[in-house]
A = this chain, B = another copy of it.
Amino acid sequence: MRPVSHVSGIHFLQIPGPTNVPERVLRAIDRATIDHRGPEFQRLSLEIACLLHPVFGARGPIVIYPSSGSGAWEAALVNTLSPGDRVLMAETGQFATLWSRIATRLGLDLDMIPGDWRHGADPDAIGERLAADTAHAIKAVAIVHNETSTAVTSRVAEVRAAIDRAGHPALLMVDTISSLGSIEYRHDDWGVDVTVAGSQKGLMLPPGLAFNAISEKALAASRTARLPRSYWAWDDMLESTRTGWFPYTPATNMLYGLREALHMLDEEGLANVYARHARHGEATRRAVQGWGLELVALDPREYSNSLTAISVPEGFDADALRATILERFNMSLGTGLGKLKGRVFRIGHLGSFNDLMLAGTLCGVQMGLDIAGIPHGDGVTPALAQLTNPAPALALSR
């Protein structure tokens, strides 16, 4: 029988993206489409170009594709590399793995540092590989800032430092799909060459747009890179960041939404946005501790503030728990991906979110654990305590 609460009230979309799209953004998208070659479009386009820079921490060009995030992965590679080029990646989880498959499909030579799916990209391991690569066969290091399958945030600045210490000229590419607009990110300061991003997480939009922020060095590389490319080619796109005109028909209505979302981030203030995500990440981890469950992430320095991945005890099925919670409480949680399938569920707490949405989310998980018969303590109370009177982060209090 259909549970009584299912059809009423709002759905709690607590997968780690797409996130809950705010009313302001949905209503902005819900406007008549305009001529993409007219003056009003140009103003829209240039305003967005301006508003995007602080979010990426980038002063250089940022191109916008009508595509999913996987398109921006591909764009980063095809614009800067040539057939057979070696790419160094770190196996942090499912999304790093998917990105690496794209590299392979495109005919690149993949060097993947194996990982346990519980840690971020290891700056030391990367540094060692680069130091050993005296011939500079490695043309790019590509890592995932926030691995959405494991809720582990890699330390990009430390990776940058490792590359620099190795004195290696490889490009640094970073996937920020589930961190941008949620966890502090600094394209320029961290010396990132290509930042890959998507619309449907911290940017609070529906899925459908993807981004490449591009360094001078990446631009230079693109001039000689020989992978075939057309749709993803930066050359024509760069024009648009200056003139406001796109080389193809842009996804106008999504751009309306993007402008609104960027205004919302600006109004809240990026520092406040990051602090909010940090509070929610910490409160969620307090709840996990209270439940007596285990985080996938092992290193407190790498805890993600945009989502939390949690293991269920042996003998229980995380997807059965998720199905119960969806059925009974109208909440979607993230499934375990790849090799974590069935053993892990993920709580997204990013994007347009606040304390009471988090409280409702955590209550839903706790009631779901109850119903599923998974042994657990009380996680809600310590989470509420954390929200009320923020204590130092768990990581530091250990």
- Partner-B contacts on A (CB < 8 A): 2, 4-13, 15, 17-23, 26-27, 29-38, 65-71, 74, 83, 101-102, 105-107, 198, 200, 206-208, 227-233, 248-254, 264, 267-268, 272-273, 275-276, 279, 326, 328-332, 335, 352-357, 359-361, 363-364, 366-367, 370-371, 378, 380-381, 384, 387-389
Q: How far is the CB of A4 from chain B (nearest CB, A)?
A: 4
Decide: A355 near B335, CB < 8 A? Known: A29-B30, A70-B231, A248-B69: no
Decide: A207 near B18, CB < 8 A? Known: A30-B26, A370-B388: no
Contacting residue for A29 out of B102, B200, B253, B353, CB 8 A: B253
Contact yes or no, B207 A66, CB < 8 A: yes
Contact yes or no, B4 A332, CB < 8 A: no
Contact yes or no, B228 A107, CB < 8 A: yes
| Separation of A200 and B246 alpha carbons in the complex (Å) | 15
Q: How far is the CB of A321 from chain B (nearest CB, A)?
A: 14
Contacting residue for A67 out of B35, B67, B370, CB 8 A: B67
Contact yes or no, B360 A388, CB < 8 A: no
Decide: A356 near B249, CB < 8 A? Known: A29-B29, A370-B388: no
When distances are taken between beta carbons in the complex, the residues of chain B under 8 Å from A331 are 356
| Separation of A19 and B33 alpha carbons in the complex (Å) | 8
Q: How far is the CB of A317 from chain B (nearest CB, A)?
A: 16
When distances are taken between beta carbons in the complex, the residues of chain B under 8 Å from A31 are 23, 26-27
Q: How far is the CB of A136 from chain B (nearest CB, A)?
A: 23
Contact yes or no, A106 B371, CB < 8 A: no
